[in-house]
């Protein structure tokens, strides 16, 4: 049995971390279900970026600023979702600016974009041309609502179709070595395998090991996941786990 996997943060020059800030009273009130953060979590994982925080906050400038101020120094990328429209409660840009200690300014290229987009009705939408000072405008194929990058903060729209289209257009800039994942489906209780999982983790201390019981899926009782950026380690750990478990408890693995 191998002593350890490659640590998830083996090289600070290679490994990257992220946080997601979901902004919207409608999310906190339950009127709208957030689908952007689960989507982005899956995308970042596939790209090899380690997501460290997901925070849901109201449309309040001071709260947005506080959370940006807290998270931006701690991770490589901060993604915001929501609050970038033309109405009174769209205050994300102002909150991000305050959090980074910057002024809000009108971006000339963004103003031209919205004037072309809205035509005669553009005047009422020009609030969307206001960005934190020094903000970089990201445009390109697939981007419906321009993404604004300020320092390490990426401001994306809240509408899921726009959010996904925008991230798809910029996703390759975040690609790193991917995480490798194996799943083992078991017909047993979590308590019955707890000692075996502890034994496995003692042998592979840097393995990202998860155990998830279910009560709603008749096909299995527990799902065990093994993850690492070290593909060989995941395969060795999988073999070790299968050897530790009673054969009758293992339904399948993938």
Residue 245 confidence (pLDDT) above 60: yes
Q: Which fold has domain 180-253?
A: Alpha-Beta Plaits (3.30.70)
Q: What angle do CA 176, 22, 14 make, to 5 degrees?
A: 15
Which sequence spans correspond to the domains of the chain? 17-174, 180-253
> Hey, do 17-174 and 180-253 end up sharing a CATH topology, with the first three levels equal?
no
The average pLDDT across 190-210 equals 94
Q: Name the token pair of 158.
A: 């809240």
Q: Name the token pair of 201.
A: 């983790």
Element (H, E) at 138: strand 136-138
Rounded to the nearest angstrom, the gap between the alpha carbon of residue 94 and the centroid of all alpha carbons in its chain is 22
Least trusted range by pLDDT, from 136-145, 147-156, 180-189? 136-145
Residue 148 pLDDT: 96
The average pLDDT across 36-48 equals 97
Residue 141 confidence (pLDDT) above 90: no
Q: Read off the pLDDT band of 32 (50, 70, 90).
A: very high
- Beta bridge pairs of residue 20: 54, 79
The average pLDDT across 71-75 equals 98
Q: Cα-atom radius of gyration of the chain, to the nearest Å?
A: 22
d(Cα 183, Cα 204) in Å, to the nearest integer?
16
Tens digit of each residue's pLDDT (9 = 90 or more) over 81-139: 999 988 888 999 999 999 999 999 999 988 898 888 888 777 878 888 999 999 999 98
Q: Read off the pLDDT band of 15 (50, 70, 90).
A: confident
Do residues 186 and 251 touch, judged by C-beta distance below 8 A? yes
C-alpha pair distances (Å), 216 with each of 125, 188, 189: 47, 14, 14
**What b/e sequence results for 57-68 when a residue is b if at least 16 CB atoms lie within 10 Å of its CB, and e otherwise?**
bbbebebbbebb
d(Cα 234, Cα 143) in Å, to the nearest integer?
37
Residue 13 pLDDT: 43
d(Cα 253, Cα 211) in Å, to the nearest integer?
14
Task: For domain 17-174, give the CATH superfamily.
Answer: MoaB/Mog-like domain (3.40.980.10)
Tokens 């798809």 — which residue?
A: 168
């Amino acid at each position: 049995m191998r002593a350890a996997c490659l640590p998830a943060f083996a090289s600070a020059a290679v490994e990257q971390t992220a946080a997601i800030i979901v902004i919207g009273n409608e999310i906190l009130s339950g009127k709208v279900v957030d689908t952007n953060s689960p989507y982005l979590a899956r995308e970042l994982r596939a790209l090899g970026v380690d997501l460290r925080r997901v925070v849901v906050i109201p449309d309040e400038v001071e709260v947005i600023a506080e959370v940006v101020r807290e998270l931006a120094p701690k991770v490589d990328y901060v993604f915001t979702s929501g609050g970038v429209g033309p109405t009174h409660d769209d205050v994300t840009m102002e909150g991000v600016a305050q959090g980074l200690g910057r002024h809000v300014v009108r971006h000339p290229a963004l103003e031209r974009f919205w004037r072309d987009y809205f035509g005669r009705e553009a005047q009422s939408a020009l609030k969307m041309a206001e960005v934190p000072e020094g903000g970089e405008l990201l445009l390109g194929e697939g981007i419906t609502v321009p993404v604004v990058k300020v320092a390490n903060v990426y401001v994306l729209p809240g509408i899921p179709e726009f959010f996904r289209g925008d991230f798809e257009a910029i996703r390759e800039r975040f690609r790193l070595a991917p995480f490798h994942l194996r799943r083992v489906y078991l017909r047993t209780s979590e308590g019955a395998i707890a000692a075996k999982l502890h034994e496995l983790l003692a042998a592979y201390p840097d393995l990202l090991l998860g155990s998830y019981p279910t009560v709603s899926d008749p096909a299995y009782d527990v799902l065990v996941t093994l993850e690492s950026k070290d593909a060989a380690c995941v395969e060795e750990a999988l073999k070790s786990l299968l050897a530790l478990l009673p054969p009758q408890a293992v339904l399948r693995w993938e």
